[in-house]
Amino acid sequence: MLKIEALSKTFGMGSINERRALDNISLAMNEGEFVSIIGGNGAGKSSLLNCISGVYEIDRGRIMLNSRNITFWPEHRRSRHIGRVFQDPLQGTAFDMTIEENLAIAYDKGKARGLKLGIKKSDFRIFRERLALLELGLEDRMKQKVGLLSGGQRQALTLLMATMVKPEILLLDEHTAALDPAMARKVLQLTREIVVEHNLCTIMVTHNMKSALEYGSRTIMMHEGRIIMDIAGKEREAMTVEQLVKQFSRQSGEELDNDRLLLG
């Protein structure tokens, strides 16, 4: 499904501010696999997602998606195959458009564009049914502008929009970090349900070690642009946050000093 080979990315190459963000990263994922990525600030988590989605050009390596080499595809071309939800709830929606208009844009992703008479009744029914699954009452507010929604409501809507047309891979970049704990749990549960329903290949960057072990089927830890830990199966099921901290120290040679990772 997704295959990354020896991917490297350096910012400010040749300058005094040169910084290697990704250092020879290799990663393979199958359809339906849900990987959570954890790591401190500057570990390379978001840089990895930006390279996969085409926001950043890579220095070396190769990115394959469903046996297609997308390494040199521009971001807009990749976006037809990739769903993404950002940390900031404001990034995934058009605030001055209604809920149904936002959903219509997402539903038309990858389709031929042309003059249309508006949202069809059949589409409206689909939107209403999908919104009802969120259990936030948004199905009764479809004419309302998105700018009037709370951050949690917008993030749930963004998650729905990113998966209205099944993406080949779903990228979640700390998509609950800006939400209060109750809404974060709600969005994480929605994430799990949507990923399972559509059998989505998913990468979720998270700031919370507990969530990294609780959600998904595989957990990766990054440090200084490298993957230093990759656990799945029974090893992951038996892993605790305390053991994960010890593993980090053993693999990186450093003590983990990041309250945000430990406490969420």
In single-letter form, the type of residue at position 251 comes to Q
Name which of 208, 197, 209, 201 is nearest 247 in CA terms: 209
Give 251 or 74, the one with higher predicted confidence: 74
Binning pLDDT at 50, 70 and 90, where does residue 179 land?
A: confident
Residue 81: strand, helix, or coil: coil
**109 falls within a domain:** yes
According to the model, what pLDDT value does residue 232 have? 95
Q: Residue holding tokens 């929606």?
A: 93
- The answer on pLDDT for 117 being more than 50 is no
d(CA 146, CA 22): 36
d(CA 102, CA 254): 45
According to the model, what pLDDT value does residue 120 have? 77
According to the model, what pLDDT value does residue 171 have? 97
According to the model, what pLDDT value does residue 38 have? 92
**135 falls within a domain:** yes
- The residues, ordered by sequence, that sit 6+ positions from 96 with a Cβ below 8 Å of its Cβ are 145, 146, 147
CA distances to 96, 138, 255 from 153, in Å: 15, 8, 37
**94 falls within a domain:** yes
Report the C-alpha dihedral over residues 118, 122, 125, 126, rounded to 10 degrees.
Answer: -100
121-169 pLDDT tens trace: 788 899 999 899 888 999 999 999 999 999 899 999 999 999 999 999 9
- The answer on pLDDT for 186 being more than 60 is yes
Binning pLDDT at 50, 70 and 90, where does residue 177 land?
A: confident
What are residue 158's DSSP bridge partners? none
Chain mean pLDDT for the chain = 89
**44 falls within a domain:** no
Range of the domain at 132: 89-149
Binning pLDDT at 50, 70 and 90, where does residue 260 land?
A: low
- The answer on pLDDT for 235 being more than 50 is yes
Total domains present in the chain:
1
Q: How many C-beta atoms surround the C-beta of residue 170 within 10 A?
A: 23
Q: Are 170 and 201 in contact (CB under 8 A)?
A: yes
Sequence length of the chain is 264
**112 falls within a domain:** yes
Percent of the chain's residues with pLDDT above 70: 92
Range from 49-58, 83-92, 186-195 that averages highest in pLDDT: 49-58
d(CA 138, CA 100): 10
**228 falls within a domain:** no
The alpha carbon dihedral of 193, 194, 199, 205 has a sign of: negative
Cα-based angle 44, 61, 215 (whole degrees, multiple of 5) = 45
What secondary structure letter does DSSP report for 145? B
According to the model, what pLDDT value does residue 163 have? 93
